[in-house]
Amino acid sequence: MSFNDEFELLLRARYPLIYIPTREEERVESAIAQSAKQQGNRSVFIWDFVDGYQGNPTDAGFGRRNPLQALELVEKIPATVPAIFVLRDYHRFLDDVSVARKLRNLARLLKSQPKNIVILSPQIAIPDDLSEVITVLEFPLPAMPEIRAELERLLSTTGQTLEPKTLDELVRSCQGLSMERIRRVLAKAIATHGALQPDDVELILEEKRQSIRQTQILDFYPATEKISDIGGLDNLKDWLLRRGGAFSERARQYGLPHPRGLLLVGIQGTGKSLTAKAIAHHWHLPLLRLDVGRLFAGLVGESESRTRQMIQLAEALAPCVLWIDEIDKAFAGLDGRSDSGTTSRVFGTFITWLAEKTSPVFVVATANNIQALPPELLRRGRLDEIFFVGLPTQEERRAIFAVHLSRLRPHNVQSYDLDRLAYETPDFSGAEIEQMLTEAMHIGFSQNRDFTTDDILEAASQIIPLARTAQDQIQLLQEWAATGRVRLASRQTGLGSRIQHQSLQ
């Protein structure tokens, strides 16, 4: 159901107090005016703290700097006159006892009158004593048809035409921005080139990065890593490659649902984060990184509001990849937290969205400690698959060395003994192998020569891998993976487990 349809339904059902959290005042007021017209030309009265009521000459300035007086106009208008009262930024006054009492009185009165009070606010901040009489209605960011209409309007005013493919790219790149930001960045593009061009997609993406950065919840993460940059993990890579075209229109016609996401569990430094970046690059989708800790704020209700904002933004940017790193640290010990249930409510909102989302947002969550994850997150239906990423096998270590050395020394990678390197480093993760190569480069550079296989092995002898320092934790992870409750990311995990078990003894 669209915003207009749902809003008009609330008007007809005589919901007295409607709360719309949005930063797009102009756009939502236009939508309210459109709905008022559809509902028999209802009168619309708009109030703000500085100017009072506006637009109606009879009541111009009424309630200026007086939020309680602003509510008195609702009773002054005859009971039979259908009207909508839009109060901007009124959330700032809801904690006032007289305002709260007046709103509860009006909520009773308006059940029998064709009038509605609409509160516009950039965030949700509803006191407990008003939660029963206020209905929250989400106002989504512009959808593709609305963005296309705005672009076509702009093109018609400038007398310019664009190829359908270019127009589609511009529309898609504008997803996730407010209409005000879209107009602003398009004006910037026209001011730069004199007309809209295909290259303006980069300008729009930069505006999108700025918009996402300002939310302080999501990061627009550049994804340049490729699937080929991942050494080993063949089962996981095959699973991902099979779903490469699942976001296409052809997949929809075939009847395929959108892939929901996956959970990567395993030892630190084994390529879980690298996989998230490679997925976005291979599927040509934007990568959004969520730091779950940013969802939690000090004010009551703000954490839940941020969670909803994160979901709205991710869905507006869909299709996209939402990367949630170390999700186990965010939601560990839910039952024992003394935060008045904030973490539980945030987690509840998040997993409900995971189960019910229909938008093409592919979630990639990573975790190091499976014991800390709430069991609700592991239930099938919320994510497509759970993969265990263990320490690399000897063959996988050889592939990891090959990937890094091909990047560092593409001209003489054959001079390195990859088989020896893989054999001599049984306990090392991918991140530790990368660190080892960096140390070997320091050795060679300090002696004014290129680094060699012996330098790499010398560097390896100076590094104590996590497999030894966190032996108990890794053994628990390996035992959990061996129970068959999770899919293995590597094909030769049995061989790798024996090597790791022998090295740990």
At 303-335, the pLDDT tens digits run: 887 888 888 888 878 888 999 988 888 776 666
β-bridge mates for residue 53, sequence order: 47
Name the CATH architecture for the domain at 3-136. 3-Layer(aba) Sandwich (3.40)
What CA–CA distance (Å, rounded) separates 404 from 438?
Answer: 10
Fold of 227-389: Rossmann fold (3.40.50)
3-state DSSP assignment of residue 46: strand
pLDDT of residue 335: 61
pLDDT of residue 496: 41
Locate the domains of the chain by residue range.
3-136, 144-215, 227-389, 394-468
pLDDT digits (tens, 9 = 90+) for 158-207: 888 888 888 888 888 888 888 999 999 999 988 988 888 888 888 887 88
The hierarchical CATH code for the domain 144-215 is 1.10.8
Q: Taking 90 as the threshold, does the pLDDT of residue 477 lie above it?
A: no
DSSP letters, 344-410, are HHHHHHHHHHHHH--S-EEEEEEES-GGGS-HHHHSBTTBSEEEEE-S--HHHHHHHHHHHHHHH-T
pLDDT of residue 175: 83
Least confident of 143-147, 431-435, 497-501: 497-501
Element (H, E) at 467: helix 466-469
Structure tokens at 499: 């090597």
Q: Taking 70 as the threshold, does the pLDDT of residue 463 lie above it?
A: yes
Whether CATH 3.50.30.30 fits 394-468:
no
Domains 144-215 and 227-389 share a fold: no
Rg (CA), the chain: 28
As a whole number of Å, the end-to-end CA separation of the chain is: 61
Contact 196, 169 (CB under 8 A): no
pLDDT digits (tens, 9 = 90+) for 231-282: 888 899 899 989 888 887 788 889 888 899 999 988 888 888 889 889 988 8
β-bridge mates for residue 179, sequence order: none
Phi, psi angles (nearest 5°) of residue 429: -85, 175
Q: Which of 289, 269, 267 minimizes the C-alpha distance to 277? A: 289
